[in-house]
Amino acid sequence: MHRFTGKSALVTGAGSGLGRAIALALAAEGASVVVAGRTAAPLDETVGLIAAAGGTAAAVTVDVTDSDRLRDLVSESVTRFGGLDIAVNNAGILRGRAPAGEVSEEDWDAVLRTNVTGVWLAMKHEIAHMKENGGGAIVNISSSLGAHLRIPNLAAYITSKAAVSALTRAAALDHIHQGVRINVVSPGSAVAPMSLQPGETEAERAERVRTENPLGRLAEAEEVAAAVLYLASPAAGSVVGTDLVIDSGASA
């Protein structure tokens, strides 16, 4: 399939994990992809993987808490590949593993600033371009931890991801009449670094997940990417403000 031939895409947090998988999947289906993140080396590795597979990509470093830099990111994406048809806002952090009343103010502020404000700022600049240039599709990455599921000692992260789900649905209603179609994917435990608990090995993670959810395994990063590509594709043309949960049945 080449659903995105001739399209340009932007993926934040694309240096590893789900962001990298999404960028690879978009490129494999013909999109020219700008991969963005805070650190150059892993982004360059993602670009190398895309190029080795015959795709087209470019790396741009950005901190999603910096509004001016995000505006420049959108501008650079348009300059490099002639437009911006698809944006995937995936960048996020997990800090403050503690009961809600014991989370430090520093950790709380960092998580909310990156995970919520960063998504809002990215959308703000993406929407500004898309609504003036024929529309586009935005897919935000949230988590099943938040609007769908809660566990102890992750209050800051859970709050931030619940906010991303709500923000996405609100923005979807605000901007669909401008041709900007916005949805969100909420993964559970997936084969990505963020799903590892502190000090946990991949084998220990697999065993933990085997007993934690009905499917009995982690979601593959490629499965999450496939959901993102569906929501970004013409096949989802009437899908607006949907929160697609991929968590092996954990929140069912």
Query: Is there a contact between 46 and 24 (Cβ–Cβ < 8 Å)?
Result: yes
C-alpha to C-alpha distance for 214 and 249, rounded to whole angstroms: 5
Residue in 27, 32, 127, 157 annotated catalytic: 157
Would you state the structure tokens that stand for residue 100, as one six-digit string?
Answer: 């809600």
Question: Do residues 55 and 80 lie in contact, with contact meaning Cβ atoms separated by under 8 Å?
Answer: no
The yes-or-no answer on residue 230 being catalytic is: no
- Match 């990509």 to its residue by tokens: 57
Round to whole Å and give the CA distance between 80 and 35.
Answer: 12
Tokens standing for residue 152: 């102890």
Residue whose C-alpha is closest to residue 127's, from 186, 164, 176: 176
Give first-to-last CA distance, the chain, whole Å.
31
Which residue, among 143, 144, 140, has the nearest Cα to 170 in the 3D structure? 140
**Which residue type sits at 221?**
A
Beta bridge partners of 36: 12, 60
Cα(42)–Cα(105) distance, integer angstroms: 29
Tell the burial category of 237 from Cβ atoms under 10 Å away from its Cβ (0-12, 13-18, 19+): exposed
Token pair 């659903």: residue? 3
Active site members: 157
